[in-house]
Amino acid sequence: MAMTDQAPRFVNRADQKLWFERIPAPWWALAVVLLFLPVVANNFWLFQVMGWTFILGMIGLSLMFLAGYGGMVSLLQMSIAGMAGYMVAILGNSGTVTVSLGLAWWIVLPAAFLIAALFATISGALAVRTEGIYTIMITLAIAAAFFYFTRQNYTIFNGYSGFNLVLPPQLFGVNWRDPVPFYYLSLALAALSYGAVVYVSRSPFGLALQGVRDNPRRMAALGFNVTAHRVAAYALASVFASAGGILLVWQNAQIAPGTIGMSAAIDVLVVAVVGGMRRPLGPFIGAFIYVILQVFSPDILGFFGFSADRFKLIIGLGFLAIVLFSPDGVLGLWDRWRARRRQQQDQKTGGGVA
């Protein structure tokens, strides 16, 4: 820290905490739990539940970044993730040898990120032509068009059946589809994406983006290029979505139009809204709730005498309840609960504002 060297010597030591001291204790606990989870959890939990949570969380995070900091609710993020996943299948190896090019992984992965980013930038440039709720309509239309296109087109996207046997490269002699390596891979990428969003949200670009969200006119008057900031946000968000999409392909070992269908696009929105779109943690919480519900819905529904197929009904009703009663998601509920508890404590002790 360069600032510390020039700071006066008599600064109160309490203000000069090191960076790791400033991270609150619950975060350390969470990190320890996540790092040592493979010791206690079985493969199903590691691969299916947690792996899927991280993947869905990362795609949701890209939506949260756009919606929370940019004010643009994009239903396109699943399509961008799907585009990256499709590119991995098309450029790399898959069971469909007639289409897949079989290039080396160090070409495939950057190319997948690049093409997905290009797709996001072009769609974003279209979407930012209008504002507010129009964004939802346009991104939904683009997402649907991409879905129908992948389903119809056999020369590039192999139509209805898509690609199967899409496996991650055997880097460093590790099979990255084994539960434990896959868990750590997805955890690392999710943590990186989370850190990147937190970092960007405090960077000049992130602050300008939040300014654009709150008052585009004033930001334009201040000399900021509003459109460029919005398009750049789409491009940046595509990186997190692409990472999630590539992991998703490796986890399922296949990709088909169903992966990026309308319900999948809306699921990403559900995940982000249920978790809370104000903070980057929200999508991961939402994803965890979603995955837990999906995985255990047969048991829960069976307990109440319903068929296991009614999972979507639970998701829909839960989503409606969240939107109707707590628009800022589960995190919002948590914040309000904490605020109320603090108030009650203050009343007891008669103390001032904590």
Token readout for 133 is 């709720």
- Considering beta carbons, is residue 207 or 320 the nearer one to other proteins? 320
Asked if 212 and 70 count as a contact pair (C-beta separation under 8 A), the reply is yes
CB of 158 to other proteins, least distance (A): 11
Handedness of CA 191, 197, 201, 202 (dihedral sign): positive
Identify the DSSP state of 92.
Answer: S
Nearer to other proteins, 179 or 276 (CB): 276
Binding region for other proteins (CB under 8 A): 73, 126, 129-130, 132-134, 136-138, 140-142, 144-145, 148-149, 152-155, 262-263, 266, 269-270, 273, 309-310, 312-313, 315-317, 319-320, 323-324, 327
Nearer of residues 44 and 149 to other proteins, judged by Cβ: 149
Q: What is the dihedral of CA 317, 321, 322, 323, to 10 degrees?
A: 100
Residue 320 CB, nearest distance to other proteins (Å)? 4
Q: Tokens standing for 264?
A: 């999948």
Q: Is 247 exposed, middle or buried (0-12, 13-18, 19+ CB in 10 A)?
A: buried
Residue among 238 and 326 whose Cβ is closer to other proteins: 326
Least distance from other proteins to the Cβ atom of residue 150, Å? 9
Of 295 and 314, the one with the shorter C-beta distance to other proteins is 314
The CB-of-339 to other proteins minimum distance in angstroms stands at: 21
Q: Are 179 and 43 in contact (CB under 8 A)?
A: yes
Taking the CA atoms of 40, 42, 47 and 50 in sequence, report the sign of the dihedral they define: negative
Tell me the closest approach of the beta carbon of residue 17 to other proteins, in angstroms.
Answer: 38
Identify which of residues 35 and 313 has a Cβ nearer to other proteins in the complex: 313
> At its nearest, how many Å lie between other proteins and the CB of residue 262?
4
203: DSSP letter:
S
